[in-house]
Amino acid sequence: MAKATFRLWRGGTHQPGAFVDYATEVSEGMVVLDAVHRIQAEQAPDLACRWNCKAGKCGSCSAEINGRPKLMCMTRLNTLDLAEPVTVEPMRAFPLLKDLVTDVSINFRIKPGIRKFAPRTPDAADGTWRMAQRDVDRVQEFRKCIECYLCQDVCHVIRDHAKHEDGFIGPRFLVYAAALEMHPLDTGDRLGDLKDRHGLGYCNITKCCTTVCPEHIHITDNAIIPLKERVVDRYYDPVTRLLRMFRG
Amino acid sequence: MGAPHTYSYDVLIVGAGGAGLRAAIEAASAGVSVGLICKSLLGKAHTVMAEGGMAAAMGHNDDRDNWQVHFADTMRGGQYVNNWRMAELHAREAPDRVRELEAWGAVFDRTPDGRINQRNFGGHRYPRLAHVGDRTGLELIRTLQDHTIHLGVTVHMEYTVIDLLLDDGQVSGVLAYDRERGRFYAFAAKAVVLATGGVGRAFKITSNSWEGTGDGHALAYRAGAELIDMEFVQFHPTGMVWPPSVKGILVTEGVRGEGGVLKNSEGRRFMFDDIPENYRPQTASDAEEGWRYTQGDKSARRPPELLTRDHVARCIRREVRAGRGSPHGGVFLDIAWIKEKLPGAADHIRRKLPSMYHQFKELADLDITREPMEVGPTTHYIMGGIRVDADTQASTIPGLFAAGECAAGINGANRLGGNSLSDLIVFGKRAGEYAAAHARSRVAPRLDEQAIAEATGAALAPFERGGSGENPYTVQQDLQETMQDLVGIVRVETEMQDALTRLDALNARAARSGVEGHREYHTGWHACLDLRNLLTVSEAITRSALERRESRGGHFRDDYPEKSAEYGAFNIAVHRDPGGTMHVARRPIPAMPAELTSIVEDQKQ
Ligand SMILES: Cc1cc2nc3c(=O)[nH]c(=O)nc-3n(C[C@H](O)[C@H](O)[C@H](O)COP(=O)(O)OP(=O)(O)OC[C@H]3O[C@@H](n4cnc5c(N)ncnc54)[C@H](O)[C@@H]3O)c2cc1C
Ligand code: SF4
Ligand code: SF4
Ligand code: FES
């Protein structure tokens, strides 16, 4: 069996962090998470990492692999250059807890701040609704989100400017808000919040979030831009809109 | 060490999968204070992985479906050792629970007339599974999670319960640690609901996440509750077998529901070779009829690929043993063939089975719209669990309730696909409701300081043994191999006796397992603590399987290959006797009321 080297970030609040190299055996079909598990079982029993499904469905195993935000369980070793050490480090936009595990709790605090689903009265006497598949398709795209927070990790508004503190909810929650706003049954109104509290305006459509989304959600084009358009239509009259266009 | 921090709730829910979340919603809506504990982050529980759908007889795609048919299908699938009252409640209440999800924001696939769409699944007579492509579990858990966060439920994520605390024979709370810091916490509660899911990690090839270590089963057992049906472990017929690192990951039954067929290396559709007598009247006589069924033709009968999971798994095993398997020790599951029948088949497959398409593409480098998949059986689900009262979900210990996969009864010897997700919401709701009622009737419990001190001491012992103790990962691997080889799909007396001997040795090794370092997010330490539970459930599975000298549903004995009427009359139960040894007993199944018996008889044609 071939060997490969994995350069894993070790350390947490109790030890200063550093990369540590581990050589381990690799075989056909392995993914990065398999290698991490093997290292854990054979060389580093206290190595911290999150995972659940090993099939790209739960969004637990987010990390930066060779500098790219990815799911460890969906990154096959045969897509990486194993002649070089493979670096695996925790997501950088979140505070480190230990090794590959970060404190993503901010995401759990953001969500309840978004107005909840509020359905219209049922269509049928038996208390049920009718919807067409083509109308649900649109929100089903957003509901595929596995909350891996890779988009939050990569968004420069969060990473470089720490706009979380100003309330910027980040791409994951713009997708969430879009799923509610475009839900065929929802009657809630979140546009004012998106503009004033959730920092929709900070997003300058660089699409980094879209690039890393493992669910291939078109975060920017299908969720964020339509939300921005709705806000513009509601809050800015045509003249100011024209002015904004000129100002770029 | 310092005394543990303390929290106090009226109702404490252990587990944030579908069952735990639905229980939390119900209890919180009843106005009591609710705490929720889970080992992973919120929204990551095993339920998130469920694919195919949730069974509820809404009759949207076929108006011949109703709760009676669903009830009869469940009983037949479970080979009549189910708790019939649970099967009845489940069949009656599932449609309302599904509709309620829609009212909370779930977005199901639609029928042409705009209602919730329902798909075919094994053992269900009519299309019955409400679904969202093949990511129904995600939709379920997200809907419940998002609903819960507005209800004032306190969620303790990445906390693990290690012991139940008792006060005068009643439950008074739990002892837990947090992964992040490794600190201990005592939770006082007037009622505790266990919703901890399954035990799949006791086996080597499994679809289950790291969390499925049978914690709720073992916690309840150690506290004195009774476990039943532990011999009934479900081996799902279609797990991935290649590449090796993904062995065991599930391939949803939805593939077969959409027309996928099973073939051996000779290209033969072997499922037609062995159709059980009691399913013959409902099974297609040829490939053409089977295809029509999967496409919604109401006059057609189901293809043999959609027989129950126990049967399909054994047929696959038979083909592999006879040397007719696929190159990597499975058989072929082919959905690509439907291009002979449907124009635009590739797009159709990608739309109906998006996550399967994605999973094979990314993990096996295989395009399921063009090539067949290689599949084989994988440990998937346990029908057995904590014995509960059908209506209230109360266990045999006052104040302790259980729901979802860790509770037993509804599925009998074999669970029909899709019946778990609806089980979670039907009985999660009931557990929450009755736990809240119980909490209201009770004064604040007393926490047993002595028990807490002993339990924390025991939990920290691996650090005292240090790095020279046994490696917990190795012990776990050896345990998984023992169970896989000796108590797997096909069982015999001698092998299971051997397994018991080995479990003894593994117990001794687990008691020597050690780790070093700091308590923060120490996965090796957590593995030591999981071992205790895995060993308990493994012993329970083995002893129950030894006791059942017949073959029924998920339990197949090579030395007793037939079903025996005698064994249809009772459930097998285990409990811990005061000396600490595992006691096996038979619990007679009460007679079914006439009304239900006649439903079963009516549906037998
Ligand atoms: C790949 C796959 C596909 C499936 N597809 C379907 C399907 O299509 N239809 C269907 O009906 N069923 C399906 N199933 C089965 C179904 O998903 C499970 O049976 C069901 O989700 C179990 O739910 P639960 O709420 O009982 O527990 P889980 O979802 O397993 O949740 C258990 C919870 O308990 C917590 N927990 C466990 N131990 C402790 C502890 N000691 N302390 C604190 N918390 C603890 C965990 O952290 C977790 O939050 C599928 C299963 C798999 C693996
Ligand atoms: S498109 Fe917007 S949300 Fe996405 S990464 Fe760029 S700035 Fe962030
Ligand atoms: S939108 Fe995509 S990248 Fe962002 S959390 Fe969801 S799945 Fe992950
Ligand atoms: S482990 Fe679930 S997404 Fe990787």
Shortest-distance atom of ligand 2 to CA A208? 5
What is the reported pLDDT for B545? 98
The answer, for B527 touching chain A at a CB cutoff of 8 Å, is: yes
Whether residue B132 is found in the same domain as residue B222: yes
User: Taking a C-beta distance cutoff of 8 angstroms, is the pair A177, A198 a contact?
Assistant: yes
Distance CA B270, CA B261 (A): 9
Whether residue B29 is found in the same domain as residue B163: yes
Whether residue B295 is found in the same domain as residue B409: no
Whether residue B525 is found in the same domain as residue B537: yes
Token duo for residue B422? 């609806």
Distance CA B381, CA B234 (A): 5
Whether residue B297 is found in the same domain as residue B162: no
AA identity, residue B423: D
What is the reported pLDDT for B432? 98
Distance CA B235, CA B151 (A): 37
Whether residue B299 is found in the same domain as residue B213: no
Taking the CA of B134 as reference, the closest ligand is 1
Whether residue B428 is found in the same domain as residue B456: no
- Is residue B474 in some structural domain? yes
Tell whether the model's pLDDT for residue A29 goes beyond 90: no
Domain interval for residue B507: 450-565
Instruction: Name the residue ranges covered by the structural domains of chain A.
Output: 2-102, 106-240
Q: Ligand 3 centre and the CA of B419: distance in Å?
A: 29
Domain count, chain B: 3
Tell whether the model's pLDDT for residue A133 goes beyond 60: yes
User: Taking a C-beta distance cutoff of 8 angstroms, is the pair B550, B564 a contact?
Assistant: yes
* DSSP-based three-state secondary structure for B543: helix
Whether residue B32 is found in the same domain as residue B54: yes
- Is residue B348 in some structural domain? yes
Q: Which of B377, B402, B433 is the last residue of a domain?
A: B377
What is the reported pLDDT for A241? 64
- Is residue B334 in some structural domain? yes
Residue A245 sits at φ, ψ, to 5 deg, of -60, -40
Shortest-distance atom of ligand 3 to CA A144? 7
Strand partners, A71: A62
What is the reported pLDDT for B309? 86
Residues A58, B44: C-beta atoms closer than 8 Å: yes
What is the reported pLDDT for B604? 81
- Is residue B593 in some structural domain? no
DSSP 8-class letter at A139: H
AA identity, residue B202: A
Whether residue B408 is found in the same domain as residue B457: no
- Is residue B601 in some structural domain? no
Distance CA B493, CA B503 (A): 15
Low-confidence ranges of chain B (pLDDT < 50): 1-2
Residues B110, A133: C-beta atoms closer than 8 Å: yes
Fold of domain A2-102: Ubiquitin-like (UB roll) (3.10.20)
User: Taking a C-beta distance cutoff of 8 angstroms, is the pair A192, A161 a contact?
Assistant: no
What is the reported pLDDT for A247? 59
* DSSP-based three-state secondary structure for B157: strand
A interface mutation test: which of B110, B141, B160, B465 has the most A CBs within 10 A? Answer: B110
Whether residue B76 is found in the same domain as residue B134: yes
Whether residue B100 is found in the same domain as residue B229: yes
N residues, chain A: 248
- Is residue B574 in some structural domain? no
What is the reported pLDDT for B605? 67
The CATH number of the domain holding residue B274 is 3.90.700.10
Q: Is B250 in the pocket of ligand 1 (CB under 6 A)?
A: yes
- Contacting residues of A for B517, CB less than 8 Å apart: 46
Q: Which of B377, B397, B424 is the last residue of a domain?
A: B377
ipTM of this predicted structure: 0.94
Return all residues near B347 (Cβ < 8 A) that are at least 6 apart. none
Mean pLDDT value across chain A: 93
Instruction: Give the CA angle between residues B224, B214, A36 to the nearest 5°.
Output: 150
- Is residue B86 in some structural domain? yes
DSSP 8-class letter at B180: T
What is the reported pLDDT for A16? 81
Q: Which of B329, B361, B377 is the last residue of a domain?
A: B377
> Tokens 């033969």 appear where?
B268
Whether residue B42 is found in the same domain as residue B176: yes
Please compute Rg for chain A using Cα positions. Answer: 21
> Tokens 């998937």 appear where?
B380
CATH architecture for residues A106-240: Orthogonal Bundle (1.10)
DSSP 8-class letter at B589: P
